[in-house]
Amino acid sequence: MLDINKIENDFDKVCSDLGKRNKDFKNELNEIVELNLQRKKITFEVEELKSEKNKISKDIGVLARENKKDEIEKLKNAVSEINIKIEKLDYELKNVSDNLNLKLSYIPNIPNKNIPLGKDEEDNVEVKKWNSDNLKNGGEAHWEIASKLGLVDFELGAKLSGSRFVVYTNKGAKMIRALTDILINRHTNNGYKEMWLPLIVNKENMYGTGQLPKFEEDAYKVDDQYLIPTSEVPLTNTVRDKILDKSELPMYLTAFTQCFRKEAGSAGRDTKGLIRLHQFNKVEMVKITDSKTSYEELDKMLLDAEDCLQLFNLPYRVVELCGGDIGFSSAKTYDLEVWFPNQNKFREISSCSNCLDFQAKRIMTRYKNDEGKNEYVHTLNGSGLAIDRLFAAIMENYYDGEKLILPEVLKQYFGNQEFLK
The pLDDT tens digits of the residues spanning 234-266 come to 999 999 999 999 999 999 999 999 999 998 766
All CATH 1.10.287 domain ranges of the chain, comma separated, are 4-105
Of 100, 91, 138, 145, nearest to 341 (Cα)?
A: 138
Q: Is 348 annotated as a binding residue?
A: yes
pLDDT at 268 over 70: no
Q: How confident is the model at residue 67 (pLDDT cuts 50, 70, 90)?
A: low
Helix residue ranges per DSSP H, 224-289:
232-237
pLDDT digits (tens, 9 = 90+) for 134-164: 899 999 999 999 999 999 999 999 999 999 9
348 pLDDT above the threshold of 70: yes
Hey, what amino acid is at 21? R
Predicted TM-score (pTM) of the model is 0.94
Q: Please work out, in degrees rounded to the nearest 5, the angle formed at the alpha carbon of residue 129 by the alpha carbons of 123 and 134.
A: 120
**Helix 11-18 and helix 26-65: axis angle, to 10°?**
140
Query: Is residue 230 marked as binding?
Result: yes
Cα–Cα distance between 414 and 215 in angstroms, integer?
Answer: 41
Q: Average pLDDT for residues 40-51, to the nearest whole number?
A: 96
CATH 3.30.930.10 domain range(s) in the chain: 121-420
| 375-386 average pLDDT score | 98
383 is in an annotated binding site: yes
Greater pLDDT, 62 or 275: 275
Q: For domain 121-420, which architecture applies?
A: 2-Layer Sandwich (3.30)
User: Contact at 8 Å (CB) between 13 and 26?
Assistant: no
350 annotated among ligand-binding-site residues: yes
**pLDDT of 68 higher than 90:** no
Collect all residues with Cβ–Cβ distance below 8 Å to 140 and sequence separation of at least 6: 148, 342, 396, 399, 401
**How confident is the model at residue 51, as a pLDDT?**
94
Q: Is 231 annotated as a binding residue?
A: yes
Is the pLDDT score of 89 beyond 80? Answer: yes
Single-letter residue type at 409 = V
Average pLDDT of the chain is: 95
On the question of pLDDT at 74 being above 90, the answer is no
Residue 261 annotated as part of some ligand binding site? yes
**Average pLDDT, integer, range 200-226:** 97
Q: Is the pLDDT of residue 57 over 90?
A: no
- Whether 397 has a pLDDT exceeding 90, the answer reads yes
**From 54-58, 163-167, 407-411, 412-416, the region with the lowest mean pLDDT:** 54-58
* pLDDT over threshold 70, residue 215: yes
Architecture of domain 4-105: Orthogonal Bundle (1.10)
CA dihedral for 211, 217, 221, 225, sign (positive or negative): positive
Whether 351 has a binding-site annotation, put simply, is yes
pLDDT at residue number 253:
98
For the segment 287-333, what is each residue's pLDDT rounded down to a tens digit? Answer: 999 999 999 999 999 999 999 999 999 999 999 999 999 999 999 99
Residue 391: pLDDT above 80? yes
In this prediction, residue 267 carries a pLDDT of 64
Q: Look at residue 61 and tell me whether its pLDDT is greater than 80.
A: no
Longest dimension (CA), the chain: 105
**CA neighbours closer than 13 Å in the CB half-sphere of residue 117:** 8
Whether 216 has a binding-site annotation, put simply, is no
**Per-residue pLDDT averaged across 387-411, rounded?**
98
CB 386 within 8 A of CB 314: no
